[in-house]
Amino acid sequence: MAEEAAVRAQAETVRRLKQDKADPDEIAKEVAKLLEMKAQLGGDEGKHKFVLKTPKGTRDYSPKQMAIRERVFNAIITCFKRHGAEVIDTPVFELKETLTGKYGEDSKLIYDLKDQGGELLSLRYDLTVPFARYLAMNKITNIKRYHIAKVYRRDNPAMTRGRYREFYQCDFDIAGQFDPMIPDAECLKIVHEILSDLQLGDFLIKVNDRRILDGMFAVCGVPDSKFRTICSSVDKLDKMPWEEVRSEMVGEKGLSPEAADHIGEYVQLHGGLDLIERLLQDPKLSQNKLAKEGLGDMKLLFEYLTLFGITGKISFDLSLARGLDYYTGVIFEAVLLQQENDHVEDPVSVGSVAGGGRYDGLVGMFDPKGRKVPCVGVSIGIERIFSILEQRVEASEEKIRTTETQVLVASAQKKLLEERLKLISELWDAGIKAEVLYKKNPKLLNQLQYCEDTGIPLVAIVGEQELKDGVIKLRVVATREEVNVRRESLVEEIRMRTTQP
Amino acid sequence: MAEEAAVRAQAETVRRLKQDKADPDEIAKEVAKLLEMKAQLGGDEGKHKFVLKTPKGTRDYSPKQMAIRERVFNAIITCFKRHGAEVIDTPVFELKETLTGKYGEDSKLIYDLKDQGGELLSLRYDLTVPFARYLAMNKITNIKRYHIAKVYRRDNPAMTRGRYREFYQCDFDIAGQFDPMIPDAECLKIVHEILSDLQLGDFLIKVNDRRILDGMFAVCGVPDSKFRTICSSVDKLDKMPWEEVRSEMVGEKGLSPEAADHIGEYVQLHGGLDLIERLLQDPKLSQNKLAKEGLGDMKLLFEYLTLFGITGKISFDLSLARGLDYYTGVIFEAVLLQQENDHVEDPVSVGSVAGGGRYDGLVGMFDPKGRKVPCVGVSIGIERIFSILEQRVEASEEKIRTTETQVLVASAQKKLLEERLKLISELWDAGIKAEVLYKKNPKLLNQLQYCEDTGIPLVAIVGEQELKDGVIKLRVVATREEVNVRRESLVEEIRMRTTQP
């Protein structure tokens, strides 16, 4: 039958893609096609016709990936705590209306839940809007908090580049009415600390201010009503050349060519304090109230960053716009400049790994009386960082332990299961991390092999003679050294031999 | 107007409920009604007409609640790691068909996502089914893993009793073909360790086996086709008296009164090894193959539990049935026997705080060739434990720190912001957890008060004279002791004074 041949051909396609470790999305597509063909053929019993996969744009984390993930989280949480942050958590979904009108054009990417009777719900799109909702709901006007959780966007992800539909955000925000630019400077310091700690290679933090952008648009002749949409176009400059952005402005968005060209001159500019000083003297910008305010604060920010000693990696960049609607002041974005190619053959191409800014109006959108709580915050884009570190670990063949087990309780002879269980129970109760093979009579070789495979450093071997003598044989896996330890000293001995220096 | 009076009356109702700290669900309902009435009246500007709340059955965690939550998680994770578990993570949603047919009557509680084009998705209902999907998908036949994550059930929650629609599960499972009852015994040991560690008061772990239940149903004259539904009825015995369960069996489920009465005799039984021995001699049960197998394994289990020294808190209980369809062998459930009433005036009423069992068929449901991977696991019901600990903390007036800040960088005089920022930057770079008030010229009193409020133990005070002398004044908040420390020794001094003993 021709259909059966087609199914076999399709099965071969799938097999080949899997062998070639092709893009998981592509594999999934072909598998789906295969299953559909099979279903039409009607030959299958139909019991297992479903696709065995995670939803599009999501992934499981294996123990090894979790070990890398925990390392990254530890570095980030340590930094957030170093800066005195508290931690909060919010539900994975919000009332749909809580998210409405906060994300501009991106709202179409929000996951809605099915209306099953009751409230209309959506999965959170970021951690910032739930944070603002939390502040307004609890009438909090003053907090420094971090929040690490998954967010959801129905994007078309490029998972090989560390982009997913379900991904972690690590957010640190400072809410409250304070003297200008001190919290803003701390956010940049935090980005600098985290990216330095993680040793991801060289990076640059681009900084701009929405007020400078808006002032710039005004003096270039952009009508007020077009500020946000032109801002969205500028935001694309990190992915598109100026010529394309310009034609979007003029063609799609109806901006005059003169205004576009004028913007084109400004957005080429980047630098440090010198550029800020120059723009403060700019005959047009200096006449614009918003731009002047923004430039004044930018100057102050750079003074604080100088005190923190981090201006070397900061660039005031007029082309930085950021996508989200809710920013009102300073905005920033950190990009990796290059991969450390020594260990990586096929470097992951990554863009921004952190971003953030000031959003002074968002909490007010939730407060029944519109009371404002000024906020500034940063979000670390953890998935891309994972991708880089994962690939680095793969390439380096570094062996990553996925458990912390200190000792395997083993036996050399048969019929000692009861003795093994008695001993391991003593060890657990003393707080020792211990495992035992779930077999009545395991071979010693298999027990030692298990230690080799999983990196367990010690083996406590129970034997007839040792039981009579009141001792346990302790073997060091790496050196094969064996010592008899009195049973009552065993816990102490294991602790001593497995404490990190 | 009558409508306006009605709105005022409804507003008064809401005010009173809030004052009386009524059930949050009830308040939400009345608030919703109030808003609807207002909307119909059309008087409001409509800008903030939405309800400022989290979705029904969910909650935010404040920093204080997070501190308690992290404590509980730490105890649990420490235990899981002590037993050599790896950790995995899976997406918050699965393909809808992955969850289909796994939960029996409870399937109606699954949250579906809206069909926005593409795959049909549902939020995970537990961590067990995603685990089984993970094993089948990755062809893993052997793993010991834990997974701590939120799961979702469209239940009617009683939040005051720690029941939510979004809640954490802490799961530990052992998958693989092993000698009987060794992993099963370890799961019970883990429950025992965790409940002991958390000091929640006295507890009891009830144990039974699905094979014993099925054998019991068979010898009592329950038709095969009614095993699962009669099992569901038995499962209600912890909430309903026998008489009600009996009438459900006979009335709704069409069981003969004789069979029901026969079951009624068995489900009263609970005990230890003695009961197992007695039932092994039971003229009817001992003739049933399933029951005999189950009782034999139960005996073995109790022998291992004796070696672990935990039989004192284990009860073999024939009334334990467990709701879920997928169990195939040992099942268990831990309940708190009473509250420690010394510290708690109004004890939270809690039921089961942990449960689990053996499910040897679930992975096979996902494997294209139906290959089985035997599994046994335990799930810790963390939300109820939170509720108890939260209430205990409230009652004891224990002060919980929500940050780990070691030192506040302060100044006694004006115009020292720059010096404060320079110093705190040095401290951060040395790994000291430090904060500074975001004000140009904060009052010393306010800075000291901030330390009192947040529990920061040390203040590093920058002053004109000290700067000249190359020293920093270090103040111990608790004792008000002040010492001048040379700037280059400050980090060491702070470390020394804030290291936990």
Same domain, A429 and A468: yes
pLDDT on residue B78: 98
What is the pLDDT averaged over residues A407-427? Answer: 97
Q: What digits encode the pLDDT tens for the residues A411-420?
A: 999 999 999 9
**How many angstroms separate the Cα of A479 from the Cα of each of A435, A457, A483, A487, B241?**
20, 10, 12, 22, 62
Same domain, B440 and B314: no
Percent of chain A scoring above 90 in pLDDT: 74
Q: Which of A95, A137, A417 lies closest to B55 in CB terms?
A: A95
Percent of chain B scoring above 70 in pLDDT: 91
**Residue A327 is labelled as binding a ligand:** yes
Q: Which of A52, A152, A440 lies closest to B136 in CB terms?
A: A52
Residue B349 pLDDT grade (very low, low, confident, very high; cuts 50, 70, 90): very low
Q: Which of residues 417-456 of B touch A (CB under 8 A)?
A: 417-418, 421-422, 425, 428-429, 431-436, 438-440
pLDDT on residue B41: 58
For residue B161, give the H/E element and its range. none
What is the C-alpha to C-alpha distance for residues B478 and B459, in angstroms, rounded to an integer? Answer: 11
**How many angstroms separate the Cα of B435 from the Cα of each of A392, B450, B457?**
35, 10, 12
What is the C-alpha to C-alpha distance for residues B493 and B499, in angstroms, rounded to an integer? Answer: 10
pLDDT higher than threshold 80 for residue A59:
yes
pLDDT on residue B228: 86
What is the C-alpha to C-alpha distance for residues A451 and A457, in angstroms, rounded to an integer? Answer: 7
pLDDT on residue B347: 42
- DSSP of B395-462, one letter per residue? HHTPPPPS----EEEEESSSS-HHHHHHHHHHHHHTT--EEE-S-SS--HHHHHHHHHHHT--EEEEE
Same domain, A131 and A246: yes
Task: Please say whether the beta carbons of B280 and B286 come within 8 A.
Answer: yes
Q: Does the distance separating the beta carbons of B368 and A304 come in below 8 Å?
A: no
**How many angstroms separate the Cα of B437 from the Cα of each of A188, A309, A312?**
17, 20, 26
pLDDT higher than threshold 90 for residue B442:
yes
Identify whether B267 is part of a domain. yes
What is the pLDDT averaged over residues B453-472? Answer: 96
**Residue B169 is labelled as binding a ligand:** yes
Q: Does the distance separating the beta carbons of A91 and B307 come in below 8 Å?
A: no
ipTM of the predicted structure? 0.85
Residue B105 pLDDT grade (very low, low, confident, very high; cuts 50, 70, 90): confident
Same domain, A211 and A332: yes
Among B72, B114, B156, B494, the residue to mutate for chain A (most A Cβ within 10 A): B114
**For chain A, how many structural domains are there in total?**
3
Instruction: Identify which of B209, B201, B251 has the alpha carbon closest to the alpha carbon of residue B230.
Output: B251
Identify whether B48 is part of a domain. no
**Residue A153 is labelled as binding a ligand:** yes
Q: Which of residues 368-397 of B touch A (CB under 8 A)?
A: 368, 370
**Terminal alpha carbon distance of chain A:** 69
What is the C-alpha to C-alpha distance for residues A113 and B116, in angstroms, rounded to an integer? Answer: 10
Q: Which of A35-49, A385-399, B95-109, B314-328 has the lowest mean pLDDT?
A: A35-49
Q: Which residues contact A256 (CB under 8 A, 6 or more apart)?
A: A221, A250
Q: Does the distance separating the beta carbons of B434 and A193 come in below 8 Å?
A: no
Identify whether A492 is part of a domain. yes
pLDDT higher than threshold 60 for residue B233:
yes
**Residue B154 is labelled as binding a ligand:** no
Task: Please say whether the beta carbons of B432 and B416 come within 8 A.
Answer: no
A33 C-beta neighbours (distance < 10 Å), count: 14
Instruction: Identify which of A19, A43, A17, A20 has the alpha carbon closest to the alpha carbon of residue A29.
Output: A17
Q: Does the distance separating the beta carbons of A136 and B86 come in below 8 Å?
A: no
pLDDT higher than threshold 50 for residue A80:
yes
Compute the mean pLDDT over every residue in chain A, rounded to the nearest whole number: 90
Q: Which domain holds residue A22?
A: 1-41
Instruction: Identify which of A170, A200, A168 has the alpha carbon closest to the alpha carbon of residue A85.
Output: A170
Compute the radius of gyration of chain A from its Cα atoms. 29
Identify whether B402 is part of a domain. no
Same domain, A153 and A23: no
Q: What digits encode the pLDDT tens for the residues B335-344?
A: 998 655 545 4
Percent of chain B scoring above 90 in pLDDT: 74
Same domain, A364 and A415: no
Q: Is A154 on the interface with B (CB under 8 A)?
A: yes
Q: Which of A118, A178, A366 lies closest to B52 in CB terms?
A: A366
Task: Please say whether the beta carbons of B112 and B132 come within 8 A.
Answer: no
Same domain, A30 and A91: no
Among A425, A443, A458, A498, the residue to mutate for chain B (most B Cβ within 10 A): A425
Q: What is the 3-state secondary structure (H, E, C) of A297-359?
A: HHHHHHHHHHHCCCHHHEEEECCCCCCCCCCCCEEEEEEECCCCCCCCCCCCCCCEEEEEEEC
Task: Please say whether the beta carbons of B230 and B263 come within 8 A.
Answer: yes
Among B49, B60, B310, the residue to mutate for chain A (most A Cβ within 10 A): B60
Q: What are phi and psi of A37, to 5 degrees?
A: -60, -45
Residue B244 pLDDT grade (very low, low, confident, very high; cuts 50, 70, 90): very high
Identify whether B54 is part of a domain. no
**Residue B322 is labelled as binding a ligand:** yes
Same domain, B162 and B272: yes
Q: Is A121 on the interface with B (CB under 8 A)?
A: yes
Identify whether A53 is part of a domain. no
Distance from CA of A209 to the nearest CA of B (A): 20
- Cα–chain-centroid distance for residue A241? 28
Task: Please say whether the beta carbons of A96 and A121 come within 8 A.
Answer: yes
**Residue B85 DSSP code:** -
Q: Does the distance separating the beta carbons of A438 and B179 come in below 8 Å?
A: yes
pLDDT higher than threshold 90 for residue B19:
no
Q: Which residues contact B372 (CB under 8 A, 6 or more apart)?
A: B360, B361, B363, B364
Q: Which of A186-190, B194-198, B389-393 has the lowest mean pLDDT?
A: B389-393
pLDDT on residue A348: 43
Q: Does the distance separating the beta carbons of A86 and B402 come in below 8 Å?
A: yes
Q: Which of B55, B418, B429 lies closest to A119 in CB terms?
A: B55
Q: Does the distance separating the beta carbons of B118 and A114 come in below 8 Å?
A: no
What is the pLDDT averaged over residues B405-429? Answer: 97
**Residue A169 is labelled as binding a ligand:** yes
Same domain, B360 and B241: yes
Q: Does the distance separating the beta carbons of A118 and B115 come in below 8 Å?
A: no
Instruction: Identify which of A148, A140, A207 has the alpha carbon closest to the alpha carbon of residue A175.
Output: A140
Q: Which residues contact B390 (CB under 8 A, 6 or more apart)?
A: B65, B68
Same domain, B197 and B315: yes
Q: What digits encode the pLDDT tens for the residues B270-321?
A: 999 999 999 999 999 999 999 999 999 999 999 999 999 999 999 999 999 9
The single-letter code of the amino acid at A331 is I
What is the pLDDT averaged over residues A262-268? Answer: 94
Mapped onto helix, strand or coil, the DSSP state of residue B314 is strand
pLDDT on residue B325: 79
pLDDT higher than threshold 70 for residue B247:
yes
Q: Which residues contact A6 (CB under 8 A, 6 or more apart)?
A: A37
**Residue A346 is labelled as binding a ligand:** no
Q: Is A53 on the interface with B (CB under 8 A)?
A: yes
Task: Please say whether the beta carbons of B328 and B346 come within 8 A.
Answer: no
Q: Is A184 on the interface with B (CB under 8 A)?
A: no
pLDDT on residue A444: 96
Compute the mean pLDDT over every residue in chain B, rounded to the nearest whole number: 90
pLDDT on residue A41: 58
Q: Does the distance separating the beta carbons of A154 and B116 come in below 8 Å?
A: yes
Same domain, A72 and A35: no
pLDDT on residue B2: 60
- DSSP of B340-398, one letter per residue? -TTT-SSPPP--EEEEEEE-SSHHHHHSTT-----EEEEEE-HHHHHHHHHHHHHHHTP
- DSSP of B222-285, one letter per residue? --GGGHHHHHHHHHGGGTS-HHHHHHIIIIIT---HHHHHHHHHHTT-EESHHHHHHHHH-TTG
What is the pLDDT averaged over residues A81-96? Answer: 98
Instruction: Identify which of A111, A106, A164 has the alpha carbon closest to the alpha carbon of residue B121.
Output: A111
Chain A contact set for B304 (CB, 8 A): 421
What is the C-alpha to C-alpha distance for residues B382 and A4, in angstroms, rounded to an integer? Answer: 52
Residue B411 corresponds to which tokens in the numbers above? Answer: 């100044």
Task: Please say whether the beta carbons of A144 and A84 come within 8 A.
Answer: yes
pLDDT higher than threshold 60 for residue A31:
yes
**Token pair 């007695």 is at which residue?**
B278
Same domain, B248 and B158: yes
What is the C-alpha to C-alpha distance for residues A192 and B244, in angstroms, rounded to an integer? Answer: 65
Q: Does the distance separating the beta carbons of A176 and B55 come in below 8 Å?
A: no
Identify whether A51 is part of a domain. no
Task: Please say whether the beta carbons of B341 and B368 come within 8 A.
Answer: no
**Residue B127 is labelled as binding a ligand:** yes
Question: What's B244's domain CATH number?
Answer: 3.30.930.10
Question: What's A450's domain CATH number?
Answer: 3.40.50.800
**Token pair 């038995």 is at which residue?**
B234
pLDDT higher than threshold 80 for residue B21:
no
Q: Is A344 on the interface with B (CB under 8 A)?
A: no
pLDDT higher than threshold 80 for residue A360:
yes
A390 C-beta neighbours (distance < 10 Å), count: 16
Identify whether B291 is part of a domain. yes
**How many CB pairs (< 8 A) connect A and B?**
242
Q: Does the distance separating the beta carbons of B89 and A61 come in below 8 Å?
A: yes
Q: Does the distance separating the beta carbons of A367 and B51 come in below 8 Å?
A: no
What is the C-alpha to C-alpha distance for residues A408 and A474, in angstroms, rounded to an integer? Answer: 10
Q: What is the sign, positive or negative, of the torsion defined by CA atoms of A463, A464, A465, A467?
A: positive
Q: Residue A95 pairs with which residues in a beta bridge?
A: A121
Backbone conformation region of residue A143, classed left if phi is above 0, alpha if psi is from -120 to 50, else beta:
beta
Torsion of CA B475, B476, B481, B483, to 10 degrees: -40
What is the C-alpha to C-alpha distance for residues A198 and A334, in angstroms, rounded to an integer? Answer: 14
pLDDT on residue A450: 97
What is the pLDDT averaged over residues A370-384? Answer: 94
The HSE-up count of residue B269 (CA atoms within 13 Å, CB side) is 20
Among B31, B72, B82, the residue to mutate for chain A (most A Cβ within 10 A): B82
**Residue A248 DSSP code:** I
pLDDT on residue B345: 45
